Amino acid sequence: MLLGWTQRDLARQSGVSLGAIKAREAAGGLVVGKESTTKKLRAALAGAGIVFLDDTAVNGIRDALAAAGVVPVDEDRLFGVGVILRA
């Protein structure tokens, strides 16, 4: 929990319905729904200081972790949908 937000908080901050947020979480990492919904969610999270990394950055992080001898416990969960870091 990076921000301490509930689903209801995210809905309020993004203008996305609570039902749409619940459906996305229930999809288990698959992106479901409209692109406009994704943009609203990303904008709300970015506005709160969350930084989204693209695949190039994720691969760089993976390489740096491997070079340091650090292996993520669950790499699919950490890198499968993209990494979100607190700014």
Per-residue pLDDT of 45-55, as tens digits, reads 889 988 777 77
| Total domain count, the chain | 2
Domain of residue 77, residue span:
53-87
Return the sign of the alpha-carbon dihedral for residues 60, 30, 4, 46. positive
Question: Are 60 and 48 within one domain?
Answer: no
CA distance 3 to 86: 8
Question: Are 11 and 45 within one domain?
Answer: yes
Question: Are 19 and 48 within one domain?
Answer: yes
Question: Are 39 and 73 within one domain?
Answer: no
Question: Are 5 and 28 within one domain?
Answer: yes
Q: Mind listing the pLDDT tens digit for each residue in 20-79?
A: 988 888 877 667 778 888 889 989 988 998 877 777 776 777 777 777 776 555 544 444
Question: Are 45 and 59 within one domain?
Answer: no
Which pTM does this prediction carry?
Answer: 0.62
